[in-house]
Amino acid sequence: MTEFFNNLQRLQKVADDIVEEMTRGLAGDKSSLLMIPTYVYRLPDPSSTGDYLALDFGGSTFRVVSVSLRSGEAPITKSTTLMMENDMKTVSGEILFDHLANCIGNFITSEKLENKDIALGFTFSFPISQHSLSEGVLVRWTKGFQNEGVVGQDVGKLLSDALSKNSVTSRVRMMAMANDTAGTQVSGALAHANCHGGFIIGTGSNACYTERVENVTALKNCNEENVIINLELGNFGELGHLDDILTKHDRHLDEQSSNPGKQLYEKMISGLYMGEMVRLAVVDRRDKFTGVFPDQLLTPDLLDGADVSDFISDGNNVKAKLGGVSDADVQLIQNVCHSVSNRAARLTAAGVHAMWLKRNKQDFVVAVDGSVYLKHATFAEVMKDALRELGTGVSLVTASDGSGLGSALIASTS
């Protein structure tokens, strides 16, 4: 299916363009990549001891996590995962943060942590401008969130204020803001000292990596040697670098989104958009159906990323979701799912390859988290195959609880 490009040479060009945008962003020049310093200057000490909390917020679910660190031992984590209902994406920012604070309070009570003095790491998986480890100002909402009164505000303070307002124990201290990619990298570094990258590919997508402070204009007066940089990679393409490979389905999906012209790379690879991309492409092929076309496919957002993976895994899942579809039409739908998924995986590999190029082709480990990478039937293997084709000197390790554990680990270093 040629419309969803799969060309190695063009993939290399994507990686080269990302490197160029990274360099411009670090220098403070116009770039689609924000290249935000996280103020995380060092990786965790395996000998650390203490109890920590993390709030992992950034998509269709959010988690409250407790982490117990004991010198030389594996971290002990407990967590609760809660759904973020769609209506919570449009309520006021005050209502949203009150809800988060109450969920933290309920978790503290259920885990009997009321009498402990605990530092909290806040993984906030949206574009933020950080001015210190504990302060992060929301640049813009993504992933369908549109809560008023939050853009331009310090979300760390909003959470702290909500914790106080809702009488959550005063012994919980907001210590560290962390993007989920930084948390994932730090989590990976606990077991892999050479972990210098993090990549999230789930509801949304983003990446971070270790950069030398001397290359970061925003930290020109900093005496540290290295810092983790949050690329906000999902926004790559805003300045036209992907225009020649955008299909009519990409353009339609973008036009109908809550942020047209933004997050184009993310819209091509992440789980939030994968199902709709497949639906649009299948509808465009309705004249090729040998049997009755399932009219429910005319309903926007009928499919999600999990459906795409399920359809690839077993054609019976197509019939279960869409009804009486012929075997030939099941194959057509599966072919579309493969094409959309393979393009997403290969474009993700280009992002990892770009970080390797930016670090002067030094071999290192990248910790990966996110539902698409962890649960999609073929995504991880296609991504790894693309990295081999590109000659990338990177090892991928799974950090399945990276954003929660990593955020707590960042709090432990503050």
**What amino acid positions are annotated as catalytic residues?**
143, 180
Q: Which distant-in-sequence residues (6+ apart) come within 8 Å of 268 by Cβ?
A: 237, 242, 250, 277, 343, 344, 347
Query: Assign residue 361 a region: left if phi > 0, alpha if psi is -120 to 50, beta otherwise?
Result: left
Residue 399's alpha-carbon distances to 4, 185, 403, in angstroms, are 29, 8, 8
Buried b / exposed e across 375-407, counting CB within 10 Å, b at 16+?
A: ebbbbbebbbebbeebebebebeebebbbbbbb
Question: Cα 354–357–359 angle (5° rounding)?
Answer: 110
The rounded Cα 282 to chain-centroid distance in angstroms is 27
Q: Given the structure tokens 């992992």, which residue do they identify?
A: 56
Distance CA 123, CA 208 (A): 14
The first and second tokens of residue 67, run together, are 């982490």
User: Is 84 in contact with 59 (CB distance < 8 Å)?
Assistant: yes
User: Is 406 in contact with 230 (CB distance < 8 Å)?
Assistant: no
Helix ranges restricted to H, 166-283: 180-189, 248-256, 264-269, 271-283
Nearest to 56 by CA among 143, 179, 220: 179
